[in-house]
Amino acid sequence: MATASNAEHIVIVTGSAPLAVAAVASIPDEAIVIAVDGGLDHALAAGLHPSGLIGDLDSVSADALEWAEQNATISRHPADKDDTDTELALRFVADMMPTQLTMIGGGDRLDHTFAALGALGLPELTSIPMIDAWWGAQHVDVLHGPGQATLQLAPDSIVSLLALHGKCTGVTITGVRWQLDDATLAPVVGWGVSNQVVADGTVNIRLSTGVLTVFDVPASTAPSTAPSTTPSLDLSTNPSLDLSTNPSLDLFASQSSPHPDPHPDPDPDPHPDPHQPSTTGDSKKDHTT
């Protein structure tokens, strides 16, 4: 196995819509930015300069592709493949073992939205300590169990917990109006939706099993300018990125090999009770969304 680069923060730009201002402002100058196919056009329009381009390149513009040929490493894949372009990029990033992964994207196709957010539950990403995303102006944090996170969110803002990838167990959340303690969330039910962050904005979340998607509003987005230079991939510590032997950076040459099922059936009980009571703090009040 190739030695990973241990990058600090990697940002993947994907989707078919211009990037939200808050999303771009959240990218630190030292982050490595990788574009997914047509996401390169939106990255360049936002003033970003990705160091890599991944995908079948069926939606990137000719001008953006010409820019990438001069300024970035390109990993071109056939259109006839099992993985989406975003999944290819996420698997590539997982091999680099970053401390934080951020996906930025958007678009009005609901199937692409579900597929992109769903890809953040890939089992290959479990070892990444921090995973978040911006889809349009909506921010999400993704927690793979077992795990925990402390989030600084806008006081009085809305935070929602959804089990998009199957049942989540041991769900505990504090710092909100309706706390949960060791709860079980069934797949895509509304019990965790529309909670309210309390005054200090510090929200603690713990998860035993499953993949929990947290829709939230960060306390602040630090002002930042787009990187004027592109952090480079450290090829000296990752032999799999040796461009002298692989100028196309085709890390997925063995695509015929099946990947593990990213969505195994995690729930032997198809009808868990989605309304078990909380044992800590106030119980969730009846509300509409």
Mean pLDDT over each residue of the chain, to the nearest integer: 81
Q: Does the pLDDT at position 62 exceed 60?
A: yes
C-alpha to C-alpha distance for 9 and 103, rounded to whole angstroms: 11
* DSSP symbol at 153: B
pLDDT in tens, 142-192: 999 999 999 999 999 999 999 999 999 999 999 999 999 999 999 999 999
pLDDT tens per residue across span 226-266 = 333 334 443 233 333 333 333 333 333 333 333 344 344 44
Bond before 146 cis per omega within 30 degrees: yes
Q: Which two tokens stand for residue 7?
A: 């990058």
Q: Which residue has the higher pLDDT, 37 or 262?
A: 37
Q: What is the pLDDT of residue 7?
A: 77
pLDDT digits (tens, 9 = 90+) for 63-118: 999 999 999 999 999 988 889 999 999 999 999 999 999 999 999 999 999 999 99
- pLDDT bracket for residue 6 (50, 70, 90): low
Structure tokens at 227: 């990187």
Instruction: Decide if pLDDT at 196 tops 80.
Output: yes
Confidence category of residue 47, pLDDT binned at 50, 70, 90: very high
**CA–CA dist 182, 185 (Å, integer):** 10
The DSSP H or E segment spanning 144 is strand 138-144
Task: Specify the 3-state DSSP secondary structure of 223.
Answer: coil
Work out the angle at residue 213's Cα, subtended by the Cα atoms of residues 84 and 104, and round it to the nearest 5 degrees. 50
Q: Look at residue 235 in the predicted model and tell me its pLDDT.
A: 29
Q: Do the beta carbons of residue 5 and residue 237 sit within 8 Å? A: yes
How far is the CA of 258 from the CAs of 7, 254, 255, in angstroms? 27, 9, 7
Whether residue 41 is predicted with pLDDT greater than 60 in this model: the reply is yes
Position 46 pLDDT exceeds 90: yes
pTM for the whole thing? 0.76
Nearest to 193 by CA among 274, 280, 83, 85: 274
